[in-house]
Amino acid sequence: MKLEYNINKLIKSIGQAYNDDKFVNYIKYIQFPFYKCLTPNTHIDFSFPLTMLVGKNGTGKSSILQAIYGAPKGKSTGDYWFSTSVDPIKENKNKYFYGYSRESADGVIIKEVIKTRQNSGKDPDYWETDRLNTSLGMKPDDNLDKETRNDPVNKNVVYFDFRGELSAFDKYFYFHKTQNDSNSKIYEINRKEAKQYVRKRSKYLTRIVNGEKNVKLRNNSEVIHEQLNIINASSHHDWLDIINYILGKNYSEIKYVYHRAYETWGISTVVKTESGLQYSEANAGSGENAIINMVVAIMSAKPNSLILLDEPEVSLHPGAQKRLKIFLLNSIEKNHHQIIISTHSSVLIEDMPKNALKLLECNNNGTVDVSNEVFFNEAFFNINEQITDKALILCEDISAKILIEKILREMGKEDYFNVQYRHGGADTLITKHFPILALDQIYNNVFIILDGDKMPENLIKYSKDVTATEIDDVEVLNNYVNNNIAKLPKNAVINPLVDGGNGGVREDQKIEVYREYLKYAEHHLLFLPKDMTPEMIMLSDSSVKEEYSITDEDIYSEDKGKKAVNSISRNEIGDTELNSLESTYKKLINKHFRSNDPEENENYNAVIQTLQSVYNYHNSSERQLVASH
């Protein structure tokens, strides 16, 4: 399989294939009327074929995977979740239903299936395909497959719990402690004797990997291994290339076999490098053995399989995790697999679209809520990862900074932003900083928010308002830049930053620069509500007006409310120094949240909308695509 390495390109291609219904027997959603620790009626959408269940340990990620595992025909959640006297399961209560796409004469339709855990005489952990139940939220269906229910989805399943992917060596050396086998018990007294036992039994494994058929223990008639598998340049070379790519290795050959040379059944892997070095899983990292087994399982899976991976980042360094993600996306694109993983890896989450991420969080009631669409920065924060890709907001002065920071706190988004103001105000921001920011993609995470009185009467958006004939007209572009992206003071100009050279400024260079200015302004240059300054917004609150006897004339004065704020600062603190004004602004803004009067909330809501648009764009695939170029 030839790999595509551009994640954004893969995501776009997969999303288009999903929209075109290219995925057969695809599980569209699952809902839990009651299941383990999940909040009753939790609903999870699978609107992108690589779904990531993100959350801290103990939020039920593995439990959800086990439920999904039990959804297809012939599978049962009871294979992994079963009742014991220590951990009893309440009978006839746990259930879930799901909807999956199925091709029919009328096109692709959605069929719903419910699975209920019921104690059966044959199996105490039996999950039955139950009758359709609209009282639980299922949709009416006049064309059921059977009298009262639909057939489960028919889908091949691959399930991998990376925490349990132990090699045959690890199973014995670290965990095997027999109580009944006296022949092996003598080797288990301490680690030294465990090594002696491995040395003794490894001769059988050597015979197996050297190709000997039907290897048996001494005085035992049973064969202790299954067929030896070999991956090399002449046998599954594409598997070998992918394993080498993910792990960053140069294996020339991989042999793996399922055996019980070390008492219990397990897989051993022997690898050979291009330099001739050969070693088994006993001398390899635990991640190597797991990745080899996973790649073999996925590459062997039939198209449109359901692949479930529980914490695949275990024992993989960040570079390998990113390459694993690229492999998974390629597998989906080429074979239309549906892959669902549980993870708390920031590397796997990064750059994924928000409809791929499902955030699991414990609530105050002790149950777990699931958010279906979150940006990956939000997911980072909720799993206690450091947010490294913060957006920087530049504003005119301290009053704007205080206003924006307060509203970000109210939105619960303050951890995703740094807010700073620049001396010189709007004129400096728009004529000095803006041209530099617009021409260098490293500043794609920087946003300028000006006061509302700097918003032009006719605000131009490059993608919507600039016509095909205008994009090559230097005079039109110059006019748009200097008159239609922000109000500039008299004699202020946004100049094109171009090289003059001996021949003077070239017109094509100016056109290119003006285009970049307009493109950058569309998403990175924003405004407070029309004609409003931070002071005006703060003073407009009825409680502020009443306490300080503020009139509309004070608010809508020529100085935009600054004189009124100075007066409050002077009367309450004694001066209008910067620190005093800052304290006054904070006091005023704290009084402004939040009125029951919709009209009073109008400016507040407008600022929320502006900041939300910044947050959305900063975390969007559109912004990530620009940054990757």
pLDDT digit string, tens, across residues 21-45: 999 999 999 999 999 889 999 999 9
**Could you name the CATH architecture of 7-156+304-311+328-382?**
3-Layer(aba) Sandwich (3.40)
Please give the single-letter amino acid code of residue 193: E
The structure's pTM equals 0.69
Task: Outline which parts of the chain fall under CATH 3.40.50.
Answer: 7-156+304-311+328-382
For residues 557 and 598, what is the distance between their CA atoms, to the nearest angstrom?
24
Q: State pLDDT tens for residues 312-345.
A: 888 788 889 999 999 999 999 999 999 999 998 8
Could you tell me which of 439, 435, 398, 395 has the C-alpha nearest to residue 417?
395
* Three-class SS state of 268: strand
Q: What is the largest CA-CA distance in the chain?
A: 103
pLDDT reading at 61 higher than 80: yes
Position 528 scores a pLDDT of 95
Look at the chain and count its residues.
Answer: 629
Q: 3-class DSSP state for residue 410?
A: helix
Give the gyration radius of the chain's Cα atoms. Answer: 32
Q: Are strands 50-55 and 357-362 parallel, antiparallel or unpaired?
A: parallel
**How sure is the predictor about 180, in pLDDT bands with cuts at 50, 70 and 90?**
very low
* Residue 216 CB partners (closer than 8 Å, separation 6+): 222, 223, 224
> Residue 277: phi, psi to the nearest 5?
-70, 135
Cβ partners under 8 Å of residue 379, min gap 6: 54, 349, 357, 359
Q: Across residues 393-397, what is the average pLDDT? A: 93
Instruction: Express each pLDDT in 455-505 by its tens digit.
Output: 999 999 999 999 999 999 999 999 999 999 999 888 889 988 887 655 567
- For the stretch 409-441, pLDDT in tens is 988 888 889 999 888 888 889 998 999 899 887
Three-class HEC string of 543-612: HHHHHHCCCHHHHCCCCCCHHHHHHHHHHHCCCCCHHHHHHHHHHHHHHCCCCCCCCCCHHHHHHHHHHH
Report the C-alpha gap between 51 and 43 in whole angstroms. Answer: 14
Q: What is the per-residue pLDDT across 204-216, written as a single tens digit (0 to 9) for each?
A: 989 999 999 999 9
Q: φ, ψ for residue 124 (rounded to 5)?
A: -70, -10
Average pLDDT, integer, range 12-20? 96
pLDDT of residue 590: 82
Rounded to whole angstroms, the Cα distance separating 26 from 71 reads 11
Lowest mean pLDDT among 106-115, 275-284, 555-564, 605-614: 275-284
Per-residue pLDDT band at 82 (split at 50, 70, 90)? confident
pLDDT band at residue 97 under the 50/70/90 scheme: very high
Q: What is residue 87's predicted lDDT score, i.e. its pLDDT? A: 65
Sign of the alpha-carbon dihedral angle for 370, 374, 378, 384: positive
What is d(CA 298, CA 541) in angstroms, rounded to the nearest whole number?
60
DSSP characters for 503-549? T---HHHHHHHHHHHHHHHHHHEEESSTT--HHHHHHTSHHHHHHHT
Token pair belonging to 86 = 């220590």
Distance of alpha carbon 320 from alpha carbon 308, whole angstroms: 19
| Residue the block writes with tokens 């990292």 | 285
Report the DSSP pairing between strands 306-310 and 157-161. parallel
Q: Is the pLDDT of residue 595 over 60?
A: no
Tell me which DSSP letter residue 174 carries.
I
Burial of 305 (0-12, 13-18, 19+ CB in 10 A): buried
pLDDT on residue 169: 57
Residue 179: pLDDT band (50, 70, 90) is very low
Tokens matching residue 434: 């803006």
User: Tokens for 235?
Assistant: 């046998």
Spell out the residues 6+ positions from residue 121 whose beta carbon is closer than 8 angstroms to its own. none
Least confident of 48-62, 117-131, 212-226, 251-265: 117-131
- Residue for token pair 């990376």: 162
